[in-house]
Structure 1
C-alpha cells in the first residue's frame, strides 16, 4: 500500500520539528554560553574590599559568596557548592583557588579574573609610583621607588589547585568528550535490545545486563584506558550502571507504550537535547539560564554529573543526579509494565 499524501506531509512536518529542536538545542547554548550564576567564593581582608571586588564579578554573572579562610573554601569546593574562589590578602596579593575537576572552563575563567585584578593593580600602582618619583629628589627614595616598581611588574597570580583530574588527562577531556557517547551509546544499545531481543521479560533482563556490563565497561575505558578518573572504580561503575539503566528503561518503556514513536521521543530527549545540555564540556551554569538546569534533569547530564561527583569529589552532591536517574528507571519500568507492544 502506498503512503498517502497526508502521511507524507505529516512526516515532513514532524521531521522539520525535530530538525528545529536539534538546531535550537545545539546552537542556542553555544551562542549564549557564558557565566550564568556560577557559584564562586571570595576572600578579602575587609568588607569594603569585598564589595569593591564582588560587584564587577556579580555583574559578569557570577554568584559570589564571601568566605573567611582557605579551609572554608576547600570544604565548599569538596562539597560541590562552589567552583573555586579568589583571595586578596591585606597586602594585595591575589590567589586563585581553582578546581579543574569541577570545570576546566570555570577554572580558566577564574584564572583570567585573577590575572585581570593583578594587571589592574599594576596599572594603578605604576601611576602612583610614577607620580611619587616625579616629586622625589632623594636618591635613596628614588631607589626605593624603582625597587617597588620592579617588584610590582613582577607580581603574578598564585594558583592553588584544589581538585584536579589525574595527570593522564589533566583537562578532563575524556569526560567532556564522553557526553555524546553517554547519550548516543545508551540509546543505540537500548534500541538494539528492544529490536533484537524477543519476549517482553527477556528485553527487561537484557536491559539490566546491559546496564551492569555496560557500566563496568564504560568506566573501565574512562578510568583505565583514558585516565580521566582515578577514584573507586566499583563505586563509579555503579553510577554508570544507574545512568545506563535510566536510558535503557526509558527507551524500553516508551517503546512498550507507544511503539516505534517512542524511539524518536527517546532520541530527542537523550541525544538532541540531552547531549548539548549535559554541561560536561563546561558546567551547567555556563549554559544559558534555565538550559543548564534543564539539562541536569535529562539522563546524559545527570549521568555525567553523577560520574564526576563519584569519581572526583568523594560522592558529594550525588543525591540529585541519583534521584533524577532513578526517576527515569522507575517511570520506564512503569511504562514497560503498562505497555503491550513488546513484539514490535
Structure 2
C-alpha cells in the first residue's frame, strides 16, 4: 500500500494549539462563559426562590364583634415569623369585597354565638397562599380552642388546574416576545444599521405581538377552555406583554449587541419566572424575589391576567404601568441608540 507524499499545494500541517485557537476564539469563549453564568444563575434563582416557601405578611381581614376583632388582629400580627398582616373589616360582606378587589388574600370571620369560625379564601389568586392561610388559621384557632371552616369564594375554573393557566400563558407570551426580538437581531444584526431599520424592526415586533396575543387567548380560551371569557381584555394584555418583552430585548441588543439577548434571558426568565407569583405567590417568596417580582414583565403580566380573569380587573393598574414602561422605554432606547450611533458615524440619521 502506498501513501501520497505531500505536494507543494497542500496546506501546511498545524499544531493542536493553533487548531484550538481557531476553534475556540476569545469571543466564543466569552459567550460560553456567559451561558454558563446564566445556567448557574437559573439554578440559583429557581431553587433559591422556590425551595422553601415561607409566608410573609399575607394580608388578612378579621371580622369579629367589639374588642374581639382587635384581639384576633393582635394575635395574628404576633405570630412567629410575621406571616400575617391583619386588619379589621366591618362585616363579612366587606371582607368578601376586600378579597375580591385584592386588598387582602383571606379573611377570618369569628362567630360570636358558636365555636366554629369561617376562613374565607380565593384560591384562584394562588392556591399556595390559600393553603398557607388555612394553616395559619388552624394554628390561631388551636390556641383559642375553636374550629375553622374554610370557604373558597373564588376557586379556579374547572379546566384551570390549581389556577396556574394564567402563569403558563404568560410564560408563552414572554418567551415568544424575547425570542422574536432575538431572532430578528441575529438575522439582521443585533445593532440595526440606523434608526429607520430600528423602527421597521419594532413595527414587525408590534405586529407579531398582536398575533401572539390573539393566538394565546384563543388557545387558553375557546380551544382549551382554561381561561374562558374576557377575550378582548386578555388579547390587549397579551399584546402589551409580548411587545414590552420584545421591545426591551431589542433595546438590550441595540445597546449591548448579542450580549443583550443574555440580559433579556436573565431578567425575563432567570429572575422573572420564579418571582412572578405563578407557582408561589410573592408573599411566600424570599425577600429578594418578593421585591423584584412586581417590577418585571413576567410578574406584572401574571397579576394582570389572573386579576382580569378572576377578580374583575381589580388591582391591575400597577401591572399595566410596568408593562407599558418596558414597552415605551425599550422603544425609545432602541431608536435613540440607533440615532446616536449613526450620528457618531457621521452619516445621515434617516438611513
Question: How far apart are the structure 1 equivalents of 2:27 and 2:281?
Answer: 42
Q: 1:51 to 1:191 in 2, by over 3 A?
A: closer
Shift, 1:185, TM fit: 2.8
Match of 2:60 in 1: 40
Match of 1:165 in 2: 156
Match of 2:318 in 1: 320
Contact 2:129 2:281 in 1 (8 A): yes
Q: 1:16 to 1:305 in 2, by over 3 A?
A: same
Match of 1:187 in 2: 178
Show the 5 A alignment for 1:25-36.
25-36=45-56
Question: Please, what is the CA RMSD of the aligned residues?
Answer: 2.7
Aligned length: 310
Question: How far apart are the structure 1 equivalents of 2:215 and 2:222?
Answer: 10
Indicate the larger mover: 175-184 or 83-92. 175-184
Match of 2:121 in 1: 98
Q: Secondary structure at the match of 2:120?
A: strand
Gapped runs of 5+ residues in structure 1? 126-155
Match of 1:147 in 2: none
Contact 2:170 2:301 in 1 (8 A): no
Question: How far apart are the structure 2 equivalents of 1:51 and 1:265?
Answer: 44
Q: 1:185 to 1:112 in 2, by over 3 A?
A: same
Shift, 1:293, TM fit: 2.8
Match of 1:300 in 2: 298
Match of 1:64 in 2: 86
Q: 1:29 to 1:262 in 2, by over 3 A?
A: same
Contact 1:183 1:274 in 2 (8 A): no
Q: Per-residue displacement from partner, 1:267-286 (whole Å, max 9, x unpaired)?
A: 11111111111111121111
Match of 2:107 in 1: 85
Q: Per-residue displacement from partner, 1:15-40 (whole Å, max 9, x unpaired)?
A: 44323422321111123422122211
Q: Secondary structure at the match of 1:35?
A: coil
Q: 1:62 to 1:55 in 2, by over 3 A?
A: closer
Show the 5 A alignment for 1:122-201.
124=145, 157-169=148-160, 171-178=162-169, 180-196=171-187, 199-201=197-199
Question: How far apart are the structure 1 equivalents of 2:28 and 2:184?
Answer: 29
Q: 1:51 to 1:111 in 2, by over 3 A?
A: closer
Question: How far apart are the structure 1 equivalents of 2:233 and 2:32?
Answer: 45
Match of 1:226 in 2: 224
Indicate the larger mover: 207-216 or 178-187. 178-187
TM normalised by structure 2 equals 0.79
Contact 1:29 1:287 in 2 (8 A): yes
Match of 1:129 in 2: none
TM normalised by structure 1 equals 0.80
Q: 1:322 to 1:185 in 2, by over 3 A?
A: same
Show the 5 A alignment for 1:255-274.
255-274=253-272
Report whether the alignment pairs 1:107 with 2:130.
yes
Q: Per-residue displacement from partner, 1:257-312 (whole Å, max 9, x unpaired)?
A: 22211111111111111111111112111111241230111111111111112222
